[in-house]
Amino acid sequence: MADDAMLKFVARGQQYPAKRSAELRAEDFREIADRYAVPDAEAQAGRCSQCGVPYCSVHCPLHNHIPDWLRLTAEGRLREAYELSNSTSTMPEICGRICPQDRLCEGNCVIEFSGHGAVTIGSVEKFITDKAWEEGWVEPVRVGPARGQSVGVIGAGPAGLSAAEYLREMGYDVHVYDRHDRAGGLLTYGIPGFKLEKEVVMRRVARLEEAGIVFHTSFEVGREATLDTLRARHDTLLIATGVYKARAIKAPGVGAAGIVEALDYLTASNRKSFGDAVPEFDNGGLDAAGKHVVVVGGGDTAMDCVRTAIRQGAASVKCLYRRDRANMPGSQREVANAEEEGVEFVWLSAPDAFDGGDKVTGVRASKMRLGAPDASGRRAPEVDPGGGFQLQADLVIKALGFEAEDLPKLFGAEGLGVTRWGTLRTDGKTMMTSLDGVFAAGDIVRGASLVVWAIRDGRDVAAHMHAWMKARAGASVPAQAA
């Protein structure tokens, strides 16, 4: 009986795949966790109590069929487990690696609440899909009969790639445009290899290319073509360009050499991992080797910067964040990894000025304290009059988050409606922008968010675009987008 393999959470403890030692992992950009051996993955999946109302699935943005593929895994039916997990996600092995599971599926597992430690859902998801790639179970995209209609996707991040895959399955000609020379968006050039190895992303891109999706890389919409040019070329368009305008620090000296943007820094490092020549890195500007590094910010981007600096051989790495540990936006798991690797967190601190004139030599900072909750409900940081201090720094990385670029201006499309945050305004029911036949998805609609939400948006918008194109083609429109 199926349940024989399940409900083992009392007798069997929670066990994540072992991490490599901090010393070893600081030497390279490979992922830090080992793989589950098959019996361990099956045993951990068997801890699930097969809830009638699975809160793990409810809180997974993709509503993955988690208890079902855990059961199949526990029973050793790994191929079926993979197929089921793949049925709701275009990138399960990527989500298994980089979703903040502690805030999503695992954070809502009932076993966690009963004090036994959540089922290790993300690690099992990664395991079954990696296994599927190794065993050749990942099949080519099944391209549907050609419809003779064409879709343009602007942005090859997880939102654009997911939509492209579903639309190609439906038989559309799909063209993806991206300003970078490689597809993947932040999966490729933002997130470092120690969280997500680049081959994992590139094999997904290759599978889409093999399905006939045409990639136009190094193609910046707004420079190579206006939005109108692409509208004329395709029956419908998707804008999935993410958010890239870095939030600024306003402090004296912020223009000095050695004070750099987080994404420039991470992109250079990721390019080096691909073996590219990167002049800004090769001349030392974006290389932390031998330097005293201060990263300003407390989100995922800041965590990726501090851990990259450790791997580049920085002399010291400090993270300055204006709130405390409990109130930081970055994942607690990543903070723990960073601390193990030698990063020092300077909580409740904010920069006042940068010393050194032309070339930064230090950061002058204030101690902060948490005051009354602001409009968002979070306690607002305020300067603690008692304390100021100085830190030595020859590389300062600004990682304060990202906002939307001015797309109507960049795209030469004044009619493209935006919200007061600069993100694209879409119809909540159809995901269409203010321009007929132009849809939008991912961070450019949500603001800086998560990969799993971008994948979900890609899945949803593909269904809406399909309904719209069927209507255009004169065919009957399904009552609800399929």
Give contact residues for ligand SF4 (rule: CB under 6 A).
48-51, 54-56, 60, 62, 64, 66-67, 95-96, 99, 101, 104-105, 109-111, 119, 121-122, 125, 452
Q: Residue for token digits 């306003």?
A: 250
Q: Quick one: 337 or 366, whose CB is closer to ligand FAD?
A: 337
Instruction: Kindly state the smallest distance separating residue 366's Cβ from ligand FAD, in Å.
Output: 26
Q: Quick one: 278 exposed, middle or buried, by C-beta within 10 A (0-12, 13-18, 19+)?
A: middle
Bridge partner residues of 175 (DSSP): 152, 214
CA distance 399 to 397: 6
Q: Quick one: 76 or 412, whose CB is closer to ligand SF4?
A: 76
Instruction: Kindly state the smallest distance separating residue 458's Cβ from ligand FAD, in Å.
Output: 7
Q: Quick one: 101 or 188, whose CB is closer to ligand SF4?
A: 101
Using left for φ > 0, alpha for ψ between -120 and 50, and beta otherwise, residue 370 falls in: beta
Q: Quick one: 28 or 181, whose CB is closer to ligand FAD?
A: 181
- Is residue 220 involved in binding ligand FAD (CB under 6 A)? yes
The tokens for 287 are 């290389």
- Strand order, beta sheet including 344-346: 259-261, 395-398, 292-296, 316-320, 344-346
Q: Which helix (H) or strand (E) holds 228?
A: helix 227-233
Q: Binding partner of residue 105 among ligand FAD, ligand SF4, none, CB under 5 to 8 Å per kind? A: ligand SF4
Instruction: Kindly state the smallest distance separating residue 455's Cβ from ligand SF4, in Å.
Output: 8
Instruction: Kindly state the smallest distance separating residue 3's Cβ from ligand SF4, in Å.
Output: 12
CA distance 417 to 116: 49
Q: Quick one: 84 or 154, whose CB is closer to ligand FAD?
A: 154
Q: Residue for token digits 């439906």?
A: 170
Do residues 419 and 218 make contact, with C-beta atoms less than 8 angstroms apart? no
Do residues 462 and 184 make contact, with C-beta atoms less than 8 angstroms apart? no
Q: Binding partner of residue 220 among ligand SF4, ligand FAD, none, CB under 5 to 8 Å per kind? A: ligand FAD
Binding ligand FAD (rule: CB under 6 A), the pick from 32, 41, 450, 469 is 450
Q: Quick one: 48 or 230, whose CB is closer to ligand SF4?
A: 48
Do residues 236 and 464 make contact, with C-beta atoms less than 8 angstroms apart? no
Q: Quick one: 16 or 55, whose CB is closer to ligand SF4?
A: 55
- Is residue 179 involved in binding ligand FAD (CB under 6 A)? yes
- Is residue 304 involved in binding ligand FAD (CB under 6 A)? yes
CA distance 117 to 98: 19
Binding ligand FAD (rule: CB under 6 A), the pick from 41, 99, 167, 335 is 99
Q: Quick one: 4 or 406, whose CB is closer to ligand FAD?
A: 406
**Please, which of residues 27-66 interact with ligand FAD by CB under 6 A?**
none
Q: Which helix (H) or strand (E) holds 216?
A: strand 214-216
Name, in order, each residue with C-beta under 8 angstroms of 27's C-beta and a sequence gap of 6 or more.
Answer: 311
Phi, psi (rounded to 5 degrees) for 86: -75, -20
Residue 395 identity (one-letter amino acid): L
Binding ligand FAD (rule: CB under 6 A), the pick from 17, 61, 190, 362 is 190
Q: Binding partner of residue 109 among ligand SF4, ligand FAD, none, CB under 5 to 8 Å per kind? A: ligand SF4
Q: Binding partner of residue 193 among ligand SF4, ligand FAD, none, CB under 5 to 8 Å per kind? A: none
Q: Residue for token digits 């602001």?
A: 374
Instruction: Kindly state the smallest distance separating residue 401's Cβ from ligand FAD, in Å.
Output: 9
Binding mask 424-443 for ligand FAD (x = CB under 6 A): ------------------xx
Q: Where are the alpha helices (DSSP H) in 367-448?
A: 407-410, 443-446
SS3 content of the chain, % helix, strand, coil (to 5): 35, 20, 45
Radius of gyration of the chain measured on its C-alpha atoms: 23
Instruction: Kindly state the smallest distance separating residue 168's Cβ from ligand FAD, in Å.
Output: 17
Distances (CA, A) of 95 to 212, 377, 399, 450: 25, 29, 23, 10
- Is residue 67 involved in binding ligand FAD (CB under 6 A)? no
Instruction: Kindly state the smallest distance separating residue 99's Cβ from ligand SF4, in Å.
Output: 3
The closest alpha carbon to 320, from 400, 407, 245, belongs to: 400
Residue 143 identity (one-letter amino acid): V
Instruction: Kindly state the smallest distance separating residue 113's Cβ from ligand FAD, in Å.
Output: 23
Q: Which stretch binds ligand FAD (CB under 6 A): 107-115, 130-138, 185-193, 268-276?
A: 185-193
Instruction: Kindly state the smallest distance separating residue 116's Cβ from ligand FAD, in Å.
Output: 26
Interacting residues with ligand FAD (CB under 6 A): 98-99, 154-160, 177-180, 185-186, 190-191, 195, 220-222, 240-242, 266, 300-301, 304, 410, 442-443, 449-452, 454
